């Protein structure tokens, strides 16, 4: 059982703060939470909404049907009213007119409860019109019958002094404006649960993963929806002693990251598709110089500017093939905030081990949704730098690009070993890093670089199997659709005669094939579910394995697929 609350208004009305306080209260009360944010690309006005889904069990996706709409303006009620469940509630100020939200008799069909409350006038009485959203939150908590003893502490985490007092008063006032409607019992009434979850989004998880991995240098150019990685890292710059530098452009950002990495520190950059387009040449540089770098590519709908604040999974084929020439790289698509944390740590280890660029592929959905997860287990964080030292190289004859069986050459930190210098060159080079035009050396070096892929392939993580162990219907998906697919598969297998299994890829380039081959052999139908128009995973699978998907669920309107949406689409085609 889960509940779904929508809080909406125009930009600048405090929708985000109200939702963030609400989430904290729910988390402190022991609920699991899944919150999506829908912003327009503007600073003021427009229509923005946040949907908070919560319940006692783990939640992996947003949901479309609503229990309550908190409408800070009339537009919010009008746009979303049709998604209310039978007996759902609209909570709004007295200036929102019921007959204009529901012209004629349209509301009675679902027995919607329309709660006109004096949000703004009560806020004025408190002395700050800006707390009208908090008055609404107080009313919402009352409607949901949620009580939390931690409220003072939570509010003081958001505001200082007088403003905090005003918000606390606003919450109390809000509670008096209505009766309870939905009688939701709290999992841990009044107490902070001992196994409390953290509340985190995908980009914060990437940033925390980078700090845990020992990343010491992050350079990026702001681009939605990747910027919040930089925001988080910048806020921790001094405590974590990580240099966070806003570059003049994405070309500088990645070349800086490569320069810092050459000098021996773990380095990272982050961007979205447009910025990644500018980074493309340097992606090849990382692989050619064999200087590791980690790049977070947080996708949004393209081409070009596209939908700046919305989601899509349409850069997969671009990132696996970007840049001229043939060279090793790895692409890990991130499936959840938890996955994002651990995979970011792993990306640094792999980048260092193989001396290659590793791309973490996220998207706006994963970047911005917040959810409750178990606190990350730092015992699982293992760091391996794979540097050679003076005992493992010939100091007088150091070969940065020594030909080896694995293709991996001894890497040292420049300046650390007297007598040994490190020369790297974007030109084709010999074992010392010196420019060459020798056909023979060219072949040796190209083979050496590509040989690393063979070893990398041996440590790929197979996709996660969901649902049935074996089924005639196999779903394939990747990245952030993991949660919605997970719930949709569960729903299908619970409610439908037809049972399905699903493979959701995290590691995606090189493409792990073992489990896919096994499961595909038994499948009569293979369905790819992707947040793009052309089915890029299906195309990649066909290219690598010859296996074709015969059905697709594709969405490319910039809005994330919910588990309900996937469930309903699956029902139509299985």
Contacts with another protein, residue ranges (CB under 8 A):
27-28, 196-200, 204, 208, 211-212, 214, 216-217, 219, 236-241, 243, 245, 247-249, 251-253, 255-265, 267, 281-282, 285, 289, 375-376, 378, 381, 383, 413-427, 433-435
Kindly report the CA angle at 189 between 183 and 190, in degrees rounded to 5? 130
Task: Rank residues 341 and 478 by Cβ distance to another protein and give the closer one.
Answer: 341
Instruction: State the DSSP H helix or E strand holding residue 132, giving kind and residue range, or none if neither.
Output: helix 132-144
Distance, in Å, from the CA atom of 528 to the CA atom of 519, rounded to the nearest integer, reads: 14
Angle CA(488)–CA(494)–CA(499) in degrees, nearest 5? 75
Cβ of residue 389: shortest distance to another protein, in angstroms?
Answer: 14
CB of 393 to another protein, least distance (A): 13
Q: What does the alpha-carbon distance between residue 59 and residue 55 come to, in Å, rounded to a whole number?
A: 8
Residue 407: what are its φ and ψ, rounded to 5°?
A: 85, -5
Q: In whole angstroms, how close is the CB of 397 to another protein at the nearest point?
A: 13
The span from the CA of 354 to the CA of 453, in Å, is 8
Residue among 496, 503, 495, 505 nearest 474 (CA)? 503
- Taking the least distance from each CB to another protein, the nearer of 282 and 523 is 282
Closest approach of Cβ 464 to another protein, in Å?
Answer: 24
Cβ atoms of 142 and 175 closer than 8 Å: yes
Q: CB of 533: closest distance to another protein in angstroms? A: 33
> What dihedral angle (degrees, nearest 10) is formed by the CA atoms of 11, 13, 17, 21?
-140
Q: How far is the CB of 247 from another protein (least distance, A)?
A: 7
Q: What values do phi and psi take at 449, rounded to 5?
A: -65, -45
- How far is the C-alpha of 529 from the C-alpha of 484, rounded, in Å? 10
HSE (side-chain half, CA atoms, 13 Å) at 309: 12
Q: Tell me how far apart the alpha carbons of residues 165 and 317 are, in angstroms, rounded to a whole number.
A: 52
CB 512 within 8 A of CB 542: no
- 198 versus 515: smaller Cβ distance to another protein: 198
Shortest spacing between CB 212 and another protein, in angstroms: 5
Nearer to another protein, 445 or 547 (CB): 445
C-alpha distances (whole Å) from 115 to each of 2, 19, 74, 88 are: 22, 19, 13, 11
State in angstroms the smallest separation of the CB of 136 from another protein: 25
Burial 159-177 (b: 16+ CB within 10 A, else e): beeeebbbbbbbbebbbeb
Residue 139 CA to residue 143 CA, distance in Å, equals 6
Backbone angle region of 365, left / alpha / beta, with phi > 0 → left and psi within -120 to 50 → alpha: alpha
Closest to another protein by CB, 208 or 330:
208
Euclidean distance between CA atoms 379 and 385, whole angstroms: 17
Q: Give the pair of three-digit tokens for residue 448.
A: 């050496």
Which residue lies nearer to another protein by CB, 98 or 390? 390
Nearer to another protein, 348 or 478 (CB): 348
Minimum gap (Å) between residue 17 Cβ and another protein: 17
Minimum distance of another protein from residue 354's CB (angstroms): 20
Residue among 105 and 241 whose Cβ is closer to another protein:
241
Closest CA to 123 of 169, 84, 80, 90: 169
**Cβ pair 143, 175 in contact under 8 A:** no
- Closest approach, Cβ 418 to another protein, in A, equals 5
Task: Give the nearest distance from C-beta 342 to another protein in angstroms.
Answer: 13
Which residue lies nearer to another protein by CB, 355 or 562? 355
Closer by beta carbon to another protein, 208 or else 316: 208
Q: Which residue, 170 or 252, is less far from another protein as judged by CB?
A: 252
**Nearer to another protein by C-beta: 238 or 494?**
238
* Contact in structure between 343 and 208 (CB atoms under 8 Å): no
Q: How far apart are CA 520 and CA 510, in angstroms?
A: 18
């Amino acid at each position: 059982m889960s509940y779904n609350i929508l809080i909406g208004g125009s930009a600048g009305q405090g929708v985000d703060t109200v939702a963030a306080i609400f989430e904290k209260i729910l988390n402190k009360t022991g609920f699991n939470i899944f919150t999506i944010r829908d912003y327009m690309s503007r600073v003021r006005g427009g229509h923005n909404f946040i949907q908070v889904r919560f319940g006692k069990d783990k939640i992996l996706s947003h949901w479309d049907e609503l229990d309550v709409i908190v409408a800070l303006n009339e537009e919010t009620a009008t746009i979303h009213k049709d998604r209310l469940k039978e007996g759902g509630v609209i909570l709004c100020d007295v200036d929102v007119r019921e007959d204009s939200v529901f012209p004629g008799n349209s509301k009675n069909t679902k027995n919607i409860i329309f709660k006109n409350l004096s949000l703004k006038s009560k806020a004025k009485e408190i002395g700050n019109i800006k707390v009208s959203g908090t008055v609404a939150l107080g009313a919402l908590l009352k409607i949901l019958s949620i009580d939390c003893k931690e409220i003072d502490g939570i509010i003081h985490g958001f505001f200082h002094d007088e403003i905090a007092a005003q918000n606390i008063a606003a919450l109390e006032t809000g509670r008096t404006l209505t009766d309870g409607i939905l009688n939701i019992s709290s999992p841990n009434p009044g107490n902070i649960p001992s196994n409390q979850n953290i509340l985190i989004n995908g980009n914060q998880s990437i940033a925390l993963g980078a700090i845990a991995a020992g990343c010491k240098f992050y350079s990026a150019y702001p681009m939605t929806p990747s910027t919040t990685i930089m925001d988080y890292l910048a806020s921790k710059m001094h405590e974590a002693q990580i240099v966070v530098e806003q570059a003049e452009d994405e070309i500088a950002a990645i070349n800086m990251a490569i320069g810092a990495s050459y000098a021996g520190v773990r380095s990272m950059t982050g961007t979205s598709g447009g910025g990644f387009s500018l980074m493309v040449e340097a992606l090849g540089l990382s692989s050619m110089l064999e200087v590791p770098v980690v790049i977070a590519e947080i996708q949004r709908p393209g081409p070009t500017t596209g939908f700046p604040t919305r989601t899509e999974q349409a850069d997969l084929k671009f990132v696996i093939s970007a840049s001229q020439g043939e060279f090793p790289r790895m692409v890990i698509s991130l499936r959840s905030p938890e996955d994002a944390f651990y995979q970011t740590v792993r990306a640094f280890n792999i980048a260092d081990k193989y001396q290659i660029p590793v791309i973490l592929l996220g998207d706006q959905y994963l970047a911005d949704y917040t959810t409750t997860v178990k606190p990350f287990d730092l015992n699982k964080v293992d760091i391996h730098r794979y540097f050679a030292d003076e005992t493992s190289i010939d100091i007088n004859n150091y070969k940065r690009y020594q030909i080896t069986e694995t293709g991996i050459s001894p890497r040292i930190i420049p300046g650390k070993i007297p007598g040994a210098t490190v020369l790297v060159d974007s030109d084709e080079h010999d074992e010392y890093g010196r420019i060459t035009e020798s056909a023979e050396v060219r072949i040796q070096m190209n083979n050496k670089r590509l040989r690393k892929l063979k070893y990398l392939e041996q440590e790929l993580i197979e996709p996660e199997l969901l649902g049935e162990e074996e089924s005639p219907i196999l779903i394939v998906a990747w990245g952030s659709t993991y949660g919605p697919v997970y719930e949709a598969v569960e729903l299908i297998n619970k409610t439908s005669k037809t049972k399905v299994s699903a493979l959701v890829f995290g590691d995606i380039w090189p493409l792990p094939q073992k489990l896919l081959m096994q499961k595909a052999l038994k499948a009569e139908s293979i369905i790819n579910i992707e947040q793009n128009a052309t089915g890029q995973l299906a195309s990649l699978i066909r290219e690598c394995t010859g296996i074709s998907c015969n059905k697709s669920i594709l969405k490319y309107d910039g809005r994330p697929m919910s588990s309900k949406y996937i469930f309903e689409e699956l029902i139509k085609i299985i």
